[in-house]
């Protein structure tokens, strides 16, 4: 029997790739989005399909729908977007998750929360296992997002304890791929856009801070396995391959224009120095680990940005 899925944030970067997978599996999909950072173009191929519905809605308002699975992704994910209106970001995380959990409870649906590695803040433990409780600044410019996701996780577990709601919590680490927005300020999109424009690549700090980069198809596979397993989580989903920002810049300019310069700028406030997932739990429980190496995943990502800039 086919399931009916609700994907909040379904017109966004990760959400639209998830919609593609669920549609390809033959299920019914309701995509809900307020188009803050999402785009209709990302799900345009499904508009008019008998198993697909599109709803313009803001998750800070309640909604009544009959669904079996709720993939709760709605929330701006890049600092430029979540800092644009930080109070709204906090509301989206708290009220949005509260409303979706209320819906899940009412209709007996299972809800997966797209949480984030940002719940670890600027970690004193490296790499970060799920048991690490994090080091988050409660009053900084990233707090609306980091603390928003922390309270969203808390709500999930309280709904589970109080009402027996079935929840799954994924802690997602940096993910990249086609459909990222060129202006989202994330390091992969910044470097690619700069390189395609023939501009110098900007390193914040000396470029020795590290990140891990997961290709979007790998992430979506992990989310699907988590939704379908019998573990609540939280479970880290990310690529444990750790790269310095300088290495990333060199890899990207190598694929686009090796002659470009790298320039340094001051490090922004609260920018974590290290970020790398421990994915032992995902390996053990989900049988999951990323398959696509960074150099390979960059190719379709660069092709996407080339099309974006040409348009
Ligand atoms: N991409 C990553 O590297 C990453 C890392 C960690 C966590 N995540 C989480 O995964 C989810 C998806 O991230 P993404 O990278 O696809 O970001 P995105 O900005 O592309 O997608 C977010 C989507 O949510 C929608 N949205 C935002 N606020 C909304 C609201 N109030 N009501 C309805 N829709 C709303 C946006 O329009 C957009 O379509 C987010 O919850 C994010 O926190 C992403």
Asked if 262 and 249 touch (Cβ cutoff 8 Å), the reply is yes
* Residue from 6, 18, 37, 169 to probe ligand 1 pocket by mutation (most atoms less than 8 Å from CB): 37
**The predicted structure's pLDDT at residue 270:** 64
Please report the atom of ligand 1 found closest to the CA of residue 118.
Answer: 6
User: What CATH topology corresponds to 4-175+215-239+276-291?
Assistant: Rossmann fold (3.40.50)
Question: What tokens appear for 178 in the block?
Answer: 């086609």
**The predicted structure's pLDDT at residue 89:** 98
List, for residues 20-59, the tens digit of each pLDDT value. Answer: 999 999 999 999 999 999 999 999 999 999 999 999 999 9
List, for residues 96-123, the tens digit of each pLDDT value. Answer: 999 999 999 999 999 999 999 999 988 8
**Is 145 annotated as catalytic?**
yes
Please report the atom of ligand 1 found closest to the CA of residue 42.
Answer: 39
Q: What percent of the chain has pLDDT over 70?
A: 99
The three-state secondary structure class of 33 is strand
pLDDT band at 276 (very low <50, low <70, confident <90, very high): confident
Q: What residues contact 29, with CB distance under 8 A and at least 6 apart?
A: 4, 5, 7, 10, 19, 22, 23, 46, 51, 52, 53
List, for residues 220-252, the tens digit of each pLDDT value. Answer: 999 999 999 999 999 999 999 999 999 999 999
Asked if pLDDT for residue 168 goes beyond 70, the answer is yes
pLDDT band at 259 (very low <50, low <70, confident <90, very high): very high
Going by C-alpha positions, the residue among 76, 63, 74, 299 that lies closest to residue 183 is 76
User: At 253, which helix (H) or strand (E)?
Assistant: helix 245-256
Which residue has its alpha carbon closest to ligand 1 atom 13?
Answer: 77
List, for residues 144-160, the tens digit of each pLDDT value. Answer: 999 999 999 999 999 99
pLDDT band at 274 (very low <50, low <70, confident <90, very high): confident
**The predicted structure's pLDDT at residue 273:** 75
Could you give the residue ranges of the DSSP H alpha helices within 178-234?
187-196, 216-228
**The predicted structure's pLDDT at residue 283:** 98
Centre of ligand 1 to C-alpha 233, Å, is 20
Weakest mean pLDDT among 48-52, 67-71, 233-237, 269-273? 269-273
Centre of ligand 1 to C-alpha 114, Å, is 8
Asked if pLDDT for residue 143 goes beyond 80, the answer is yes
**Among 145, 159, 176, 215, the one annotated catalytic:** 145
- Which residues sit with their C-beta closer than 6 Å to ligand 1? 8-9, 11-15, 33-38, 58-60, 73-77, 81, 92, 96, 114, 116, 172, 174-175
Provide the residue ranges of all domains of the chain, joining segments of one domain with +. 4-175+215-239+276-291
Centre of ligand 1 to C-alpha 310, Å, is 25
Centre of ligand 1 to C-alpha 74, Å, is 5
């Amino acid at each position: 029997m086919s399931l009916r899925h609700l994907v909040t944030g379904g017109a966004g970067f990760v959400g639209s790739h998830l919609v593609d997978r669920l549609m390809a599996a033959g299920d019914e999909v309701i995509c809900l989005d307020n188009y803050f950072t999402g785009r209709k173009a990302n799900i345009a191929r499904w508009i008019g399909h008998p198993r697909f519905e599109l709803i313009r809605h803001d998750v800070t308002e309640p909604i009544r729908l009959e669904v079996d699975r709720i993939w709760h992704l709605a929330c701006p994910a890049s600092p430029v977007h979540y800092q644009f209106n930080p109070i709204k970001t906090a509301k989206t995380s708290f009220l949005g998750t509260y409303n979706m959990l209320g819906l899940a409870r009412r209709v007996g649906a299972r809800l997966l929360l797209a949480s984030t590695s940002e719940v670890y803040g600027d970690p004193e433990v490296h790499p970060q296992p799920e048991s690490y409780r994090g080091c988050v600044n409660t009053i900084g410019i990233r707090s609306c997002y980091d603390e928003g996701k922390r309270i969203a996780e808390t709500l999930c577990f309280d709904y589970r304890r109080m009402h027996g709601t079935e929840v799954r919590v994924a802690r997602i680490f940096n993910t990249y791929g086609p459909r990222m927005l060129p202006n989202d300020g994330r390091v992969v999109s910044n470097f690619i856009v700069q390189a395609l424009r023939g501009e110098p690549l900007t390193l914040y700090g000396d470029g020795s801070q590290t990140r891990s980069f997961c290709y979007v198809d790998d992430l979506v596979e992990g989310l699907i396995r988590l939704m379908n397993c019998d573990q609540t989580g939280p479970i880290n989903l990310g690529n444990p391959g750790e790269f310095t920002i300088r290495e990333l810049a060199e890899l990207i300019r190598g694929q686009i224009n090796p002659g470009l310069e790298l320039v340094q700028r001051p490090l922004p406030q609260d920018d974590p120095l290290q970020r790398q997932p421990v994915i032992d739990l995902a390996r053990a429980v989900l049988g999951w680990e990323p398959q696509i190496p960074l150099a390979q995943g960059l190719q379709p990502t660069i092709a996407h940005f080339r099309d974006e800039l040409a348009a």
